[in-house]
Chain A
C-alpha cells in the first residue's frame, strides 16, 4: 500500500467518524441547561389548590434565584434545610440580608405570576404583596415551600383583612 493511500485512508476514517458523531449530536450530549430564573416561566393550568401552590413555589424560587443570580434549582436544594441553606450562602457568598431580600422578591414574583395567570384576583394579590413584604424571612421561606394556605384561605396571611377579602371573593 502506498504511503499517500494509507495516510489518506486514516484521514478519511477519522474525519468520517468525527463528522458522524457531530451529526448525531455528540457536541451537545451534555446535561440539559437550566432556564434563566429571570426569564418568565408561564404557569401550567393549575387544576386545584395543590397545583396552584406548587406553581407558586416554583415562581417564588425563580424570583429569589433571579435576585441572587443563581439557578432556581440551586436555590431549591439550598432551601431544603438549615444546613444546606448555610452551605449555599457560604458557597455563593450571600449574606443573610441578601437572602432575606431575595426570598421576599421571590414571594412578590410568585404573587405577580399567580395574578398574571388568573389564579389570584387583583383584590387578593395587592394586600398579599403588602403582607408578604413584612413577613419574617422564615415565614417567607415557608410560604414559598408551601403556599397552599394562600389558595385555600387567604386569612392565614392577611389576618382579618384576609377574612374580609375572602368574603368578597367569588
Chain B
C-alpha cells in the first residue's frame, strides 16, 4: 500500500493538510470577539465556536483512524479535505451562531478524517514511522501555534468570515494534489483492507497530552481575550503581540533534538506552568509584560507536545489509530480547559467590572476637581459606560474637551490616567484565576509523565 501511494503524494501536501486542520483548533481565537459582537451572542456561547470543533475532533479521531484502515488512507484524506472545504465555506457564510457551530462540527469531522489518514500515508514519504510521527506532530504543533496569528491578521484586514473562506481553495488544492494517490489506492483495495492489531494506547502520554492541551487552550484563548477585550487591542495588534509564542515554539523545537523524550515532556510542562502562572501575576497591563511568559509558554508547548506525541506513537502500530488517540486526547483536553475556564473568567470579569466601577467612582469623588466639573464628568462617564455595554470602555471621549483652567486641566488629566489604570487593573486581574487554573493543568501533566517513567519509556 505504501509503495502504491508514495509516488503521487508529497510530504509537503500531507504536512500542510495536517497543519491546516489543526490550525482550525485555534485559528478563530482572535476572531472570537468579532464573532461575539457580530452574531450578538454571549462570551460563553462564542467559546463554543472553539469547543464544538475540538469536541467533535476528539470524538471522531479514533473512528476516523479506523475508517482510514478500512477505506484506504489516501481516499479518506481526500474525502476528509473535501468535507473540510465544504464545511469551511458554510462557516464563512454562517449568519447565526447555530449555523456556525453546525458547520464547525462538520469541519472537525472532515478534518479528523484527513489528519488521521495523513498519518497513515506519511511513512511512505518520510521513509519511516518514527520520521512520520515527528513530521506529523510538528505540522500539527506549527499549525496550532501559527493559527491565531493568521486568524487575527485576516480578521483585521478582511473579516472573521475570511478565516474560513481562505481555507476552501487551500483544502480543495490539497485534495486535488492527493487525488492521484486515492485513485491508485482504489485499484488496490485489497491492500487497503489490511488490518493490524491496534494495541492499547499509551495511557500516560495521552493523559499528559490532554492536560497540557487544556493548559494550552487557556494560554491561547485567554491571552487573546485579555489583549482584545481587556486591553482593547485590535486583532492585528494582538496577532503581532502573541507572535512571540510560535517563535519561542520554534526555538523549543530545536532543544528537542538535544534531550531525551521524558525530560523534554517534563521540562515543557514546567515551562508551560511557569509561563501561565506568570500571566496570572502580570505587574502591568502592557504587552511587554506578557513577553517573558509567552516565551516560556511557547518553548514549553513545543517541548512537551512533540515529546508526548512521539511517545504515544513510538513502537505502536498502526500509527493512524494511535495518532487518532493523540488527537482525541489533545482536543478533549482543549475542550476540558475551555469548559472549566470559561465560567471562571466570565464570573471574574463581572466581579472585576464592579470593582473597577467602584474604584473609578472613588477616584472621581475624591479628585480635586471642582464639584460642578465632577458632576458633568460623572454624567459623561455614565454615558460612555452605557454606549459600551458589556465591553471595557474607552474613557477618553468623556474627558473632552479638557478644561481651560490649567489647574483643573491637570486634575482632569490625572483623573483620566487614574481611571484608565483602574480599568487596566480590573481587566488584567479578571484573568488571574483562570491562568492559575491553567498552570495547575500543566503541572498536573507531570503526574502521568512521572508515572510513565516507571512503566514506559517516554
Q: Are A and B genuine complex partners?
A: yes
Interface of A toward B, CB cutoff 8 Å? 1-4, 6-7, 9-11, 13-15, 17-18, 21-22, 24-27, 29-35, 50-51, 53-54, 58, 61, 71-74, 76-77, 80
Residues of B within 8 A of A54 (CB): 371, 374
* Among A7, A21, A24, A76, contact of B361 (Cβ-Cβ < 8 Å): A76
Contact A7 B263 (CB under 8 A): yes
Interface of B toward A, CB cutoff 8 Å? 255, 258-260, 262-264, 266-268, 270-271, 273-275, 277-278, 280-284, 289, 292-293, 296, 300, 352, 355-359, 361-363, 365-366, 370-372, 374, 378, 382, 422, 425-426, 428-429
Contact A32 B296 (CB under 8 A): no
Using CB atoms, name the residue of chain B closest to A27: B281
Residues of B within 8 A of A61 (CB): 365
Additional pairs, 4, CB under 8 Å, beyond known A3-B260, A72-B365: A7-B270, A10-B300, A21-B289, A32-B425
Residues of B within 8 A of A31 (CB): 352, 355-356, 358-359, 422, 425-426, 429
The CA of A24 and the CA of B370, in the complex, are separated in Å by: 35
The CA of A3 and the CA of B303, in the complex, are separated in Å by: 13
Looking at B283, B378, B382, B422, which has the most chain A CB atoms within 10 Å of its CB?
B283
CB within 8 Å for A30 and B264 given contacts A6-B259, A21-B282, A73-B358: no
Contact A10 B270 (CB under 8 A): yes
The CA of A53 and the CA of B275, in the complex, are separated in Å by: 51
Residues of A within 8 A of B289 (CB): 21
CB distance from B136 to the nearest CB of A (A): 24
CB distance from A39 to the nearest CB of B (A): 13
Contact A50 B370 (CB under 8 A): yes
The CA of A80 and the CA of B263, in the complex, are separated in Å by: 61
CB distance from B34 to the nearest CB of A (A): 27
- 4 tightest A-B CB contacts, nearest first: A14-B274, A26-B281, A3-B263, A24-B283
Using CB atoms, name the residue of chain A closest to B282: A26
Residues of A within 8 A of B282 (CB): 21, 26, 29
Contact B255 A1 (CB under 8 A): yes
Contact A17 B274 (CB under 8 A): yes
The CA of A39 and the CA of B169, in the complex, are separated in Å by: 67
A-B contact pairs, 13 of them (CB 8 A): A1-B258, A3-B263, A4-B263, A6-B263, A13-B274, A13-B296, A14-B270, A18-B277, A25-B283, A30-B429, A54-B371, A73-B361, A80-B382
Looking at A1, A4, A29, A72, which has the most chain B CB atoms within 10 Å of its CB?
A29
Residues of B within 8 A of A6 (CB): 255, 259, 263-264, 267
> For chain A, what secondary structure do more than half of its interface residues adopt (helix, strand, loop), or is it mixed?
helix
CB distance from B347 to the nearest CB of A (A): 15
CB distance from B427 to the nearest CB of A (A): 10
CB distance from B302 to the nearest CB of A (A): 12
CB distance from A32 to the nearest CB of B (A): 5
Residues of B within 8 A of A21 (CB): 278, 281-283, 289
CB distance from A109 to the nearest CB of B (A): 15
* Among A10, A26, A71, contact of B271 (Cβ-Cβ < 8 Å): A10
Residues of B within 8 A of A30 (CB): 352, 355, 425-426, 429
CB distance from B345 to the nearest CB of A (A): 15
Contact A17 B275 (CB under 8 A): yes
CB distance from A147 to the nearest CB of B (A): 10
Contact B277 A14 (CB under 8 A): yes
CB distance from B267 to the nearest CB of A (A): 4
CB distance from B286 to the nearest CB of A (A): 11
CB distance from B264 to the nearest CB of A (A): 7
The CA of A24 and the CA of B425, in the complex, are separated in Å by: 14
Contact B355 A73 (CB under 8 A): no
* Among B266, B358, B422, contact of A71 (Cβ-Cβ < 8 Å): B358
CB distance from B344 to the nearest CB of A (A): 16
Residues of B within 8 A of A22 (CB): 281
CB within 8 Å for A32 and B422 given contacts A9-B267, A13-B274, A54-B371: yes
The CA of A25 and the CA of B255, in the complex, are separated in Å by: 32
The CA of A33 and the CA of B255, in the complex, are separated in Å by: 45
Contact A29 B284 (CB under 8 A): yes
Residues of B within 8 A of A77 (CB): 357, 361
The CA of A9 and the CA of B255, in the complex, are separated in Å by: 12
CB distance from A5 to the nearest CB of B (A): 8
CB within 8 Å for A17 and B292 given contacts A32-B359, A54-B371: yes
* Among A1, A27, A29, A53, contact of B425 (Cβ-Cβ < 8 Å): A29
Residues of A within 8 A of B271 (CB): 10, 13-14
Using CB atoms, name the residue of chain B closest to A50: B371
CB distance from B112 to the nearest CB of A (A): 32
The CA of A27 and the CA of B425, in the complex, are separated in Å by: 11
Contact A17 B278 (CB under 8 A): yes
Residues of A within 8 A of B300 (CB): 10
Contact A74 B358 (CB under 8 A): yes
The CA of A18 and the CA of B436, in the complex, are separated in Å by: 12
Looking at A6, A9, A15, which has the most chain B CB atoms within 10 Å of its CB?
A6
Residues of A within 8 A of B281 (CB): 18, 21-22, 26-27, 29
CB distance from A45 to the nearest CB of B (A): 12
Using CB atoms, name the residue of chain B closest to A3: B263
Residues of A within 8 A of B274 (CB): 10-11, 13-15, 17-18
Using CB atoms, name the residue of chain A closest to B269: A10
Looking at A26, A72, A74, which has the most chain B CB atoms within 10 Å of its CB?
A26
The CA of A169 and the CA of B362, in the complex, are separated in Å by: 34
